[in-house]
């Protein structure tokens, strides 16, 4: 069952309201706590480490749903911090079989960067019609992401869309009662990555040497060995999938590949809490609506179950021309090294 555009738009507005509430809660609580307090480990799960700042976001999400979600649209929540198999529905206590929608949420994507006030994190969410355990990423029809700025920033960007409706983006002035203004995001239309940003993700020590080899081999095959000691391609290890999506959407980056699950499998490394998860890619729809390409490394449409533990590998290109040029070479490199 697909949702009507009228329903999609109403849900988009709901997601936007949720995320603005969570953003305000995080900024308010952050002002009262030290970095050390925000960075306290709250829980270790199969998906990730949950820090004190994550709990602030989770509690605000619960409060918003209790107070604002319409009872006539019962919903199941899949969220970082909730283990697979746990049931969270609104109105609370609703049986999953009675829910109409499924929402997958990452309360804070980029926790490590924001809790140390280094770089923006993002609130991510996507909505799909309820299909029980059969729901996948391709079912998501509405998505939104909201920036959690560092204390040095006055601006937080907010981006949302429903499938087929185009991208809507605003900036939020966090100094001025959350006033908003429209902002245009323009992914790059360049057809190469020379003298621009293109990244193979390797955030943590595990697998980083192998992933570095993949990146080096990819650029060498595409563009040859540079004659100058100056770097030909720049990379940016932004530890936030939502943040990486924003860098593609805004035209800052042209190519990003998160191949960690492939590297971990090659190296026989347990990857459940080291890799990207479905809630991290909940906003892939936004890239599609902007005309970007996001897919698996083999070129298949990006898809995964909507759970909290499945490792997800993905590649994003700023435009179709870039995808057509880079994809065949990337596939060759992966076949040889991963």
Residues contacting residue 32 through CB under 8 Å, at least 6 positions apart: none
Q: Which helix (H) or strand (E) holds 142?
A: strand 142-148
Q: Is the pLDDT of residue 42 over 70?
A: no
CA 3/CA 129 separation, integer angstroms: 7
Quote the pLDDT of residue 80.
84
CATH T-level topology, domain 5-145: Fructose-1,6-Bisphosphatase; Chain A, domain 1 (3.30.540)
Quote the pLDDT of residue 43.
56
Domain boundaries, the chain: 5-145, 197-337
Three-class DSSP labels, 280-328: HHCCHHHHHHCCCEEECCCCCECCCECCCCCCCCEEEECCHHHHHHHHH
Q: What is the pTM of this model?
A: 0.94
With beta carbons less than 8 A apart as the criterion, state whether 217 and 95 touch.
no
Neighbours of 102 (CB within 10 A): 22
Measuring CA to CA, which residue among 95, 55, 51, 56 is closest to residue 75? 95
Quote the pLDDT of residue 255.
98
Task: With cut-offs at 50, 70 and 90, classify the pLDDT of residue 277.
Answer: very high
Percent of the chain with pLDDT over 90: 82
Q: How many contiguous H segments (helices) and E segments (strands) does the chain have?
A: 9, 14
Quote the pLDDT of residue 170.
98
Task: With cut-offs at 50, 70 and 90, classify the pLDDT of residue 30.
Answer: confident
Helix, strand, coil abundance in the chain, percent, nearest 5: 35, 25, 40
User: Residue 111: what are its φ and ψ, rounded to 5°?
Assistant: -55, -45
Percent of the chain with pLDDT over 70: 93
Query: Sheet holding 197-200: strands in order across?
Result: 197-200, 253-258, 314-317, 293-295
Q: In DSSP terms, which residues pair with 129 in a beta bridge? A: 101
Quote the pLDDT of residue 47.
53
Q: In DSSP terms, which residues pair with 180 in a beta bridge? A: 172
Residue 155 CB-density burial (10 A; 0-12 exposed, 13-18 middle, 19+ buried)? middle
Query: In CATH, what class is 197-337?
Result: alpha beta
Quote the pLDDT of residue 86.
83
Quote the pLDDT of residue 278.
97
CA 130/CA 224 separation, integer angstroms: 48
Quote the pLDDT of residue 32.
81
β-pairing, 197-200 vs 49-51, is unpaired
Quote the pLDDT of residue 54.
81
Q: What is the DSSP letter of 272?
A: T
With beta carbons less than 8 A apart as the criterion, state whether 197 and 247 touch.
yes
Neighbours of 237 (CB within 10 A): 12
pLDDT digit string, tens, across residues 141-194: 999 999 999 999 999 999 999 999 999 999 999 999 999 999 999 999 999 999
Three-class DSSP labels, 203-254: CCCCCHHHHHHHHHHHHHHHHCCCCCCCCCCECCCCCCHHHHHHHHHCCCEE
Longest dimension (CA), the chain: 65
User: Residue 69: what are its φ and ψ, rounded to 5°?
Assistant: -75, 130
């Amino acid at each position: 069952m697909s949702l009507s555009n009228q329903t999609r738009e109403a849900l988009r507005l709901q997601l936007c309201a949720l995320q603005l509430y969570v953003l305000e809660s995080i900024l308010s609580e952050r002002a009262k706590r030290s970095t050390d307090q925000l960075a306290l480990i709250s829980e270790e799960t199969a998906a990730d480490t949950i820090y004190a700042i994550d709990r602030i976001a989770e509690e605000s999400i619960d409060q918003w749903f209790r107070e604002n979600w319409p009872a006539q649209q019962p919903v199941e929540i899949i969220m970082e911090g909730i283990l697979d198999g746990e049931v969270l529905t609104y109105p609370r206590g609703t049986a999953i079989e009675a829910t109409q929608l499924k929402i997958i949420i990452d309360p804070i994507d980029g926790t490590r960067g924001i809790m140390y006030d280094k770089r923006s994190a993002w609130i991510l969410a996507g909505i799909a019609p309820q299909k029980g355990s059969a729901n996948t990423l391709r079912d998501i029809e509405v998505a939104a992401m909201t920036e959690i700025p560092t204390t040095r920033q006055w601006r937080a960007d907010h981006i949302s869309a429903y499938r087929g409706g185009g991208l809507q983006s605003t900036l939020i002035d966090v100094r001025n009662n959350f006033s908003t203004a429209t902002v245009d995001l323009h992914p790059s239309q360049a057809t190469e990555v020379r003298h621009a940003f293109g990244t193979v993700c390797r955030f943590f020590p595990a697998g980083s040497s192998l992933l570095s080899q993949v990146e080096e081999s990819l650029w060498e095959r595409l563009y040859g060995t540079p004659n100058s000691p100056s770097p030909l391609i720049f990379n940016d290890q932004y530890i936030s999938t939502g943040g990486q999506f924003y860098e593609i959407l805004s035209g800052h980056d042209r190519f990003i590949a998160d191949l960690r699950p492939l590297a971990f499998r090659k190296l026989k490394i347990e990857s459940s809490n080291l890799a990207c998860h479905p809630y991290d890619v909940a906003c892939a729809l936004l890239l599609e609506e902007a005309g970007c390409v996001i897919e698996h490394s083999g070129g298949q449409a990006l898809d995964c179950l909507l759970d909290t533990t499945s490792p997800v590998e993905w590649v994003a290109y700023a435009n179709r021309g870039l995808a057509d040029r880079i994809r065949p070479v990337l596939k060759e490199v992966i076949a040889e090294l991963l």
